Amino acid sequence: MAPNTNLVWKLSGTGITAGDVVGGLLQGSFTVDANGKASFTITLAADQLTEGAETLGARIFADSTSTAVLSSASVVVNDTSQAPLPDQPQVLWGTTASDTITGSNAPDQLAGVPATGTNGASMGKGQIDTLTGRGAGDTFLLADSRGGFYNDGNSRNQGLNDYALIKDFKLVEADKLQLKTNTNYLYRNATVSGVAYTEIFLSNGDTSFTAADELIARLEGSPISGSGLNFFSSSSNSLVWVTFV
């Protein structure tokens, strides 16, 4: 085209709003350069709505009244945003990677590990899974009939590379941990960088705290009351916030 020709671009399509485009503009102008070429760039914004795939159309006009269409193209923008979970009980399982899992405002069951499999990865080895229960009394699984999760199996270190990071453990909501029956555990409270949390360890069975005790969870939100080391199992010091399998 002739250099210096003014062109207009416009975006349209189902579900396309100004919020879908960085800069918030659905139209603009640009000019043909000395080589007879012209281009414009738009950047799509991260979609905040769950509304299904959208079709984005772009048209180029030769005049400001937008009557003479020079070119048009369209692309389908797939909606990859996660739908908020409906407020009904969910049973959520993770993967063998470090997962971020969020429940609903109903009583949920949340696990950061897969529902099946008994090898290390299936049992949470090497993973830090971030679990958020949201409202109501949720159960966070740190064990099931297969055994306990997040144990690296190395008694010479505390296994700080595998645990469930539970972001909103709330006694007032009757949130619970699911642990293994006839197994020794301990918890202690700590504050790191201003964040107070409760750490749950699989205990090696004695009453001293050593590298042989294995970290399996950190609870943020409201630390459990109790100072020092608190040992418990299904047969001793039963706690309202633990359920055993």
Sheet hosting strand 27-31, strand order edge to edge: 27-31, 6-12, 54-61, 69-77
Does residue 175 touch Ca ion according to CB under 5 A?
Answer: yes
**Burial status of residue 144 (CB atoms within 10 A of its CB: 0-12, 13-18, 19 or more):** middle
Among 11, 92, 102, 108, the residue binding Ca ion under the rule CB under 5 A is 108
Residues 74 and 57: beta-carbon distance below 8 Å: yes
Among residues 7, 11, 54, 99, the one that binds Ca ion under rule CB under 5 A = 99
Which one among 61, 132, 134, 199 touches Ca ion, defined by CB under 5 A?
134
150 binds Ca ion (CB under 5 A): yes
Q: Closest CB to Ca ion belongs to which residue? A: 159
Token pair in block for residue 161: 């590379």
213 belongs to the binding site for Ca ion (CB under 5 A):
no
**Distance between CA atoms of residues 129 and 98, nearest Å:** 5
The site for Ca ion, by CB under 5 A, has a size of 18
User: Identity (one letter) of the amino acid at 233?
Assistant: S
Query: Minimal distance in Å, beta carbon 89 to Ca ion?
Result: 8
Nearer to Ca ion, 27 or 96 (CB): 96
**Which strands sit side by side in the sheet containing 139-141, from one edge to the other?**
91-92, 109-110, 139-141, 176-179, 242-244
Q: Is 140 in the site for Ca ion (CB under 5 A)?
A: no
List 54, 60, 142, 162, residue binding Ca ion (CB under 5 A): 162
Residue 241: CB minimum distance to Ca ion, A: 11
Show Cβ contacts of residue 8 under 8 Å, excluding neighbours closer than 6 positions.
27, 28, 29, 60, 61, 62, 63, 64, 66
CB of 74 to Ca ion, least distance (A): 39
Amino acid (one-letter) located at 20 = D
Give the CB-side neighbour count of residue 97, counting CA atoms within 13 A: 3
Rounded to whole angstroms, the Cα distance separating 161 from 20 reads 39
Q: Does 221 bind Ca ion (CB under 5 A)?
A: no
Q: Which of 8, 159, 187, 242 binds Ca ion (CB under 5 A)?
A: 159
Contacting residue, 133, 179, 180, 198, with Ca ion by CB under 5 A: 133
- Is the Cβ of residue 54 or residue 129 nearer to Ca ion in the bound state? 129
Please give the single-letter amino acid code of residue 219. Answer: L
Contacting range for Ca ion; rule: CB under 5 A; set: 8-16, 41-49, 55-63, 214-222: 214-222
DSSP strand pairing (143-144 vs 147-148): antiparallel
Interface residues with Ca ion (CB under 5 A) are: 94, 99, 103, 108, 112, 127, 129, 133-134, 136, 138, 150, 159, 162-163, 173, 175, 215
